[in-house]
Amino acid sequence: MNIPMLDLVGQYKAIKKEIDQAITDVLESGAYIMGPQVRQFEEHIEEFLQVEHAIGVASGSDALVLSLHALGIGPGDKVIVPTFTFFATASAVSRMDATPVFVDIDPENYNLDLDQVENILKTQQDIKAIIPVHLFGLPVDMQRLMDLAEDYHVYIIEDACQAIGAELSLTSDEVSSFTAKAGAIGNSGCFSFFPSKNLGGFGDGGMVVTNDDHLAEKIRMLRVHGSKPKYYHSIIGYNSRLDAIQAAILDVKLHYLNEWNQKRRQVAAVYNETFQAAALQNRLKWPQVVPGHIFHQYVIEIDGRDELAEHLKANGIANAVYYPLPLHLQECFADLNYKEGDLPRAEQACKRVLALPIDPGLTEEQIKYIAKTVIDFIQR
Ligand SMILES: Cc1ncc(COP(=O)(O)O)c(C=O)c1O
């Protein structure tokens, strides 16, 4: 067998007719920048996430930068970020000349440890914002985080780049319990349409969502060099627009997103059943299948991770390490003076985690073959 992490070409072929038509429509419209397809896709995201404003931008990284910029984060400000995430979460803060304050993980689910967040809010000055990352597609406990944000007057910028369609339960004063989508709860939510994301384009793309009219207006200006109207610049912005061809492709794929996310959950459930049946609890850690999780990645944890990765590769099974080095130990952040041992749970996870194939089109036979290859490695 030869099993990739994701079969992006297979996904394209399954919906080729619709995708090709959408691309042709853009080519024939001549509206290649900010055309009607961009606005249409934004409107569909507004409906999907139940938010007031969706603003297409060039990437998930830019979605973070534009959010921070629009909220006025700058020199002297500190922003709490998890250390166990993709680099862009923290580099966006540094690009604003603000300072990232790294937080360790909750060892149960790899999301940021909210006890540590609370402690930092209590003890450190100048914290202006928190960027929770819904890592691997599992939502952070936004109820608790929004309560902390209210108590300490900080902004929340959700990094939902890995979590489009993920859901969580919340309560409010008016409604006892309701379901919300990841990214739709904080001051802003940031999404990436990098090809391997659950909703991925054929190139880079991103989106900021918000319910704040003023913030939306500012982000809309920032993505076009700070201009409004065109050629009149009251602020300095960026060139960061969602490409029209990508928007048209993503709009087609959005129809399939819930189905694909559900299939990813089913893939995860089959892995879990197989590991459970082999009674490996003491040797292997696997993720819980909770209802709102969209399994952007299916990540296991094991001693001898690198050997297992080789063993899987030798058996035709792709795998990947997200992430091999926590951000607080990255060379570019050396001036922040973190050292090994400062955030030990994330450091430990970086040595033990391994992502297995999670393509929604994996067959039961393939999933069981992958799980069995892991089990054979452990029982060898
Ligand atoms: C958690 C997280 N944040 C930010 C990004 C940045 O997104 P992009 O690659 O679209 O710039 C990504 C994806 O790559 C991500 O996984």
Determine the atom of ligand 1 nearest the C-alpha atom of 85. Answer: 1
- DSSP assignment string, 204-262: --EEEEES-HHHHHHHHHHTBTTBSSTT-BSS---B---BHHHHHHHHHHHTTHHHHHH
Out of 133, 194, 299, 323, give the residue to mutate to test ligand 1, the one with the largest number of ligand atoms within 8 Å of its CB: 194
In this structure, is residue 141 part of a structural domain? yes
* pLDDT of 1: 84
Please tell me whether residues 183 and 285 are part of one structural domain. no
| pLDDT given at position 264 | 98
60 ligand 1 Cβ < 6 A: yes
Task: Answer yes or no: is 345 within a domain.
Answer: no
178 and 297 inside one domain: no
Question: Looking at the domain assignment, is residue 190 inside a domain?
Answer: yes
Question: What is the per-residue pLDDT for 107?
Answer: 82
User: Tell me, what CATH number does 299's domain have?
Assistant: 3.90.1150.10
Task: Give the end of a domain, one of 232, 254, 276.
Answer: 254
Asked whether residue 197 is domain-assigned, the answer is yes
Torsion angle defined by CA atoms of residues 352, 357, 360 and 366, in that order, rounded to the nearest 10 degrees: -130
Tokens of 353: 């985690």
Domain encompassing residue 283: 257-319+357-378
CA of 173 from ligand 1 middle (Å) equals 34
How confident is the model at residue 176, as a pLDDT?
81
Residue 326, domain member (yes or no): no
Residues 266 and 362 in one domain: yes
Q: How is residue 105 written in tokens?
A: 């993980």
pLDDT in tens, 42-62: 999 999 999 999 999 999 999
Q: Where a domain ends, among 203, 238, 254?
A: 254
Same domain for 223 and 261?
no
290 and 219 within one domain = no
Same domain? For 45 and 169 the reply is yes
Nearest CA to ligand 1 atom 12: 161
Residue 180: its H or E element: strand 178-181
Q: How many distinct structural domains can be found in the chain?
A: 2
Q: What is the pLDDT at residue 137?
A: 98
Domain assignment present for residue 58? The answer is: yes
Q: Residue 351 domain-assigned? A: no
Domain CATH for 35 = 3.40.640.10
Q: Mean pLDDT, 10 residues at a time, over the chain (380 residues)? A: 95 98 97 96 98 98 98 98 98 98 94 98 96 98 97 98 96 84 98 98 98 98 97 97 98 98 98 95 94 97 97 98 98 98 98 98 97 96
Q: Is residue 279 within 8 Å of residue 68, measured between CB atoms?
A: no
- Ligand 1 neighbour 162 (Cβ under 6 A): yes
* Cβ of 161 below 6 Å from ligand 1: yes
Determine the distance from the C-alpha atom of residue 317 to the mean position of all C-alpha atoms in its chain, rounded to a whole number.
24
Q: Do 263 and 364 belong together in one domain?
A: yes
Measure the CA–CA gap between 249 and 48, rounded to whole angstroms: 16
Residues written for the chain: 380
| Residue of 160, 166, 159, 158 whose CA lies nearest to 187 | 158
In tens, the pLDDT along 321-368 reads 999 999 999 999 999 999 999 999 999 999 999 999 999 999 999 999
Query: Where is the domain boundary, 239, 254, 269?
Result: 254
Residue 176's CB is within 10 A of a number of other CB atoms, namely 7
Q: Look at residue 99 and tell me if it is in a domain.
A: yes
Q: Is the CB of 206 under 6 A from ligand 1?
A: yes
Chain-centre distance for alpha carbon 156: 15
133 lines ligand 1 (CB under 6 A): yes
